[in-house]
Amino acid sequence: MRDKGKVALARIVVAHREHVMAIQPFGKGLLGTTLRYPYEVREPRTYFSGIRGRKVPKDMVALASHILETKAGHFDPSKFKDQYETALKSLVRRKAKGKPIEPPQEKEAPSNVINLMDALRQSLRKGKSAKGRRSTPRKRASSRARKAA
C-alpha cells in the first residue's frame, strides 16, 4: 500500500452502526480512520449563509498574525489529558469507598468585561519593553493610513 500510494476501504460496526473506514500505512503498522457517509456531511452554506463578509483592519490582521507566529509549535499529544475521564474515575473511586458524592459548587463567572484588542496591544507592549526591540521590523504606515487613524 505504501509503495503504491493506495489506501484501503473497509466496513466496520461500532456502536450498532456500520461505518466506512480508510486504512493506510502508518509507521510499522496501519492507521484506520472512520469516514462519514454523505448524509452526515452538511453543506457549509446552510450554516454560514447569514454571515456577511467584513473588511478587517490591517492592524488587527497583523496582530492576529503575530499571535499565531508566537504561539506556533509542534503538537504534543502527551500534554493533553482527558479531564472528564480523570474526574469520573475519581468520583467512582470515592463512591466505591462509600464516601458521599456531592455536586460541585458552581463557580461564579468573572463580571469584568475587557476590550480584547486593547488587552492584546497592552500585552504586546509589555513584550516589547522586556525585549527592548522588535523581533520583526515594522513597516511605516502610509500618510493616508495615518490620516485615517
Pick the range with the lowest mean pLDDT from 47-61, 72-86, 117-131: 117-131
pLDDT digits (tens, 9 = 90+) for 59-107: 999 999 999 999 999 988 898 889 999 999 999 999 999 998 888 788 8
Q: What is the four-CA torsion angle of 60, 63, 64, 69, rounded to 10 degrees?
A: 160
Alpha helices in the chain (DSSP H): 44-48, 58-71, 83-96, 116-131, 143-148
Q: Give 117's pLDDT tier (boundaries 50, 70, 90).
A: confident
DSSP 45-73: HHHHTTPPP-PPPHHHHHHHHHHHHHH--
Grid cell digits, residue 98: 462509600
Every domain of the chain and the residues it spans: 8-43
> Which DSSP symbol is given to 98?
T
Q: What are residue 26's phi and psi, to 5 degrees?
A: -150, 105
pLDDT for 86 equals 92
Grid cell digits, residue 37: 457517509
- Answering whether pTM is above 0.75, one says no
pLDDT for 136 equals 52
Q: Assess whether pLDDT exceeds 60 at residue 135.
A: no
Which amino acid type is present at position 113?
A: V
**Per DSSP, what are the bridge partners of residue 14?**
17
